[in-house]
Amino acid sequence: MEQSPPTTKHHILLLNAPFSPPTFSFPHTLTHLTNTTVDTTLPSLSTATIAITAAVHLSHTTITRHCPSLRAIICMGTGVDNISLSACQERGITLCNTPSQNIASVSEHALALFMALKRKVVPLHAATLDGETWAARKLMIGAWEGGPPRTNGEEVMGVVGYGALGKGVAELFGRNGMEVLVAERKGMEGVRGGRTAFEEVLRRATVVVFCAPLDEGTRGMVGARELGWMRRDALLVNVGRGGIVEEKALVRALREGEIAGAATDVFEHEPARKESCPLLEEGVPNLLLSPHVAWYSKTTLDGAKKMIHDNVEMYVKGTPQNVIIQGTM
């Protein structure tokens, strides 16, 4: 990619960033929109040369019809599934991400979801708070319908998706005393050293943690058949992406007791709404939800802000980094 001429004045659009705008060294103007949607963003997108975004979905139509000046998109985070890759390729737009800034935070959130689910923290809190249930039942161990919970030394943790996040999650769970199985990619004929076949991981693990990105190879990776492979006393945790685990199949598995519980921080459609998300149905048992906040920490914000700054500066100099799609402009 040729270096942008020194006389070029970029217009940067910062969308829904949870931090103040970075300071850039080149001539530019900057618009920072918060709590915005695609519709409210369109007027600003029409003049932007560089867009920095996280949760705002930039579809093929949005990019090809409403972004005539756009030259680069910088994603806050590793995943780029909210950006139309084909539109970037058609338009010659450079697409970069900010990988590995949230590993510690998401790993800790995955462990927190697992421990809260295993130890029944939320229902026991409610039962204690109402001032009646504990007194009526005396001993609250009945909260564990299937018998006493395992300690970490008895757990077998399977990790699906072994990029930077999967490695971070596996390391943290391992440090907490669990045996760790690293799943081979689904459908692979051979199994690489240090990995275990995908189906075997689902059959053996007492907790399966999904850390994979969402792409054509992982979309709908786990449905009714795969949930049926899991142990009836196993737990499922998803901190990867919504759409990897089929939500309707997961609800059915929980209602029918095919698995012991599930926790997720990610959803197929976000923000999740009752009319479109099966996980929000009334009375789904042994389900723990959080609204895609696993990434949120001071470490993540500081690292992401610095990497976004560096990505933009390097792009303007003509040497982009963390490139997903190399543009022509």
- DSSP for 260-272? SEEEES--SSSS-
Q: In what order do the strands lie in the sheet with 207-210?
A: 179-182, 156-160, 207-210, 235-238, 261-264, 287-289
Question: 10-99+299-325 and 103-289 share one CATH topology?
Answer: yes
What are the DSSP E strand ranges found in the chain?
Answer: 10-15, 28-33, 50-53, 72-75, 94-96, 156-160, 179-182, 207-210, 235-238, 261-264, 287-289, 323-325
> Which neighbouring-strand residues pair with 48?
none
Q: What length does the chain have?
A: 329
Name the pairing type of β-strands 235-238 and 261-264: parallel
The pLDDT of residue 329 is 67
Q: Tokens for 53?
A: 């975004």
The pLDDT of residue 300 is 97
- Can you give the residue ranges of every domain in the chain? 10-99+299-325, 103-289
- C-alpha torsion sign, points 41, 44, 45, 48: negative
Assigned CATH for 10-99+299-325: 3.40.50.720
Class (C level, CATH) for 103-289: alpha beta
The pLDDT of residue 39 is 86
Separation CA 76–CA 215 (nearest Å):
18
Name the pairing type of β-strands 94-96 and 323-325: antiparallel
- By the 8 A CB rule, do 60 and 86 touch? yes
Q: Is the pTM of this model over 0.85?
A: yes
- For the chain, which ranges sit under pLDDT 70? 1-7, 329
What is the DSSP code (8-state) at residue 203? Answer: H
Assign 112 to helix, strand or coil.
helix
Crossing angle of helices 164-175 and 103-118, rounded to 10°: 50
Q: Tokens for 276?
A: 């479109």
Cβ neighbourhood burial of 297 (10 Å; 0-12, 13-18, 19+): middle
